[in-house]
Amino acid sequence: MSFQTIYTSGSGMLGMEQKLNTVAHNLANMETTAFKKQRCNFEDLFYDNWRYPGSQDRNGEFTGTGIQIGLGTRVTSVQSHMRQGGFKETNRMTDVAIAGDGFFRVTDPFSGETLYTRAGNFSVNDNGTFVLGSAQTGRLIDPPITIPQDATHVQINDDGTVWVAQAGNPQLLQVGQFQLSTFINPEGLLRVGENLFQQTDASGAPIDGQPGMDGMGTVKQYMIEMSNVQPVVELIDMITSQRAYELNSQVTRTGDEILQTVINIKR
């Protein structure tokens, strides 16, 4: 039995280690644009059934409860929490936040792959095209939005339409339209780093549309979405996980001491 005690408490230590890794990742990304926190989900492992519930005892009576010894725990999933983060005003014309559901669609310039992001810290490259991240290595917004070289001001409306003012022209010129994508299960998206997500079978196919239409969120210029990590909640999780790890470690030591006592008795 003491052998099983060590294995059971070991599974608890392993689970708490994975949870602490998740908490550390959340805290490390407190200031990451549009970062979505993660959460570990646990389940108990198989049971060693010494007596099944409802079986007959020595008197022929049906037992109301059985004897089931649990064999530990494990992490079943690390779930993304897609709740919207707060907005931060930046006063940059190319910064855009999504208020509501949806992801920006971008194209990787090297692989041509379509990726999705909530981060709206866009720049304009040397061709005048909106890109995510730096102007040199950024990923192109899809569909492309290009700003004329003589533009003096960029205006992005809540519906995603992009207008520019040009010197000597009193009329605003529409040069593009932001599109958003939603998923039936956004938690099923694959994280690929750099604030980007990739479509999977679990997420379902993207549903594309215009901001403010058919349940899509709207876009807000001069804003970026911040991380939805709550530091106080993460610190509490860190403390409770640490205590749980220490308790499981103590159980392991106790099981080891029992085994040493049994060995000494046999000698």
Task: Tell me how far apart the alpha carbons of residues 106 and 147 are, in angstroms, rounded to a whole number.
Answer: 17
Is pLDDT at 267 greater than 70 in this prediction?
no
Picking from 30-34, 121-125, 132-136, which range would have the lowest pLDDT averaged per residue? 132-136
**Phi-psi region at 65: left, alpha or beta (left = phi > 0; alpha = psi -120 to 50):** beta
* Domain ranges (residues) in the chain: 2-54+66-80+229-266, 87-225
Positions of E strands within 58-146: 67-70, 73-80, 87-89, 96-99, 103-107, 114-117, 122-124, 130-132, 139-141
Higher pLDDT, 138 or 203: 203
Reported as a single tens digit per residue, the pLDDT across 243-254 is: 999 999 999 888
| pTM confidence score | 0.86
Is pLDDT at 226 greater than 60 in this prediction?
yes
Q: What confidence score (pLDDT) does residue 58 get?
A: 76
Task: Tell me what the mean pLDDT of segment 210-227 comes to.
Answer: 95
Q: What confidence score (pLDDT) does residue 136 get?
A: 60
